[in-house]
Amino acid sequence: MSFPTFHRLSPRLVGLGEVLGGPTPEEQGGEYESGTVLLRVGEAEERWRIRTARITPTKPGAFVAVWERGADGKTQPFAADDGTAGLLVFVAEPGATAESGTLARSGVFRFTAEMLMDLGITQHAGCAGKRGFRLYPSWCDGLNAQAARTQRAQAPAFTLLDG
């Protein structure tokens, strides 16, 4: 897997950190450019999961899968204590491709491990976690009440890169 969206958009992230290794593909989730990347953030080396969200044509926002296969072969949410610093999810509008270099609007959600727990994404005591979730970049408007609440909760993690 070549991770075109990561390579196109990650240099625009101020404070992302120096890429030390990767991206390294994960076994599943190829359609979401699923992998991990090793970053130097300050003096620390941190491993982050990366994904590219899929824009959905019939609903506002985007969707991203965030699961792994357990030892029993079943899909399961990521564990909060899996050793990653968080999850970077890249989003680009329809018609905008990393390969063409003509991105209409794009951005990244930088969810720390703590944010993922607070949002109920990762599996931890008292929380089953999620295998996927919807994302609402700042350019999404006309949202229903639930989507607007989700957008507000996700807003601290979002950085607009183009548009």
The token pair that represents 138 in the structure block: 């700042």
Closest CA relative to residue 6, chosen from 133, 91, 96, 115: 91
Per-residue pLDDT tens over the stretch 17-36: 778 777 988 877 677 899 99
Here the CATH number for the domain that contains residue 105 is 3.40.1350.140
The whole-number pLDDT of residue 19 equals: 81
The confidence score (pLDDT) of residue 100 equals 55
With beta carbons less than 8 A apart as the criterion, state whether 5 and 157 touch.
Answer: no
Q: What is residue 110's predicted lDDT score, i.e. its pLDDT?
A: 94
Query: In this structure, what token pair is assigned to residue 23?
Result: 């991206």
Identify which of 118, 116, 97, 117 has the alpha carbon closest to the alpha carbon of residue 106: 97
Would you call 142 helix, strand, or coil by DSSP? Answer: coil
Listed range (5-14, 35-44, 120-129, 138-147) with the worst mean pLDDT = 5-14
Q: Where are the alpha helices (DSSP H) in the chain?
A: 4-9, 113-118, 145-154
Number of domains in the chain: 1
pLDDT in tens, 79-131: 999 999 999 999 988 664 555 555 578 899 999 999 999 999 999 998 999 99
Q: Which domain holds residue 73?
A: 4-162
pLDDT tens by residue, 53-78 = 998 888 999 999 999 888 898 999 99
DSSP letter (8 states) at residue 85: -
The answer to whether the CB of 36 falls within 8 A of the CB of 50 is yes
C-alpha to C-alpha distance for 80 and 73, rounded to whole angstroms: 20
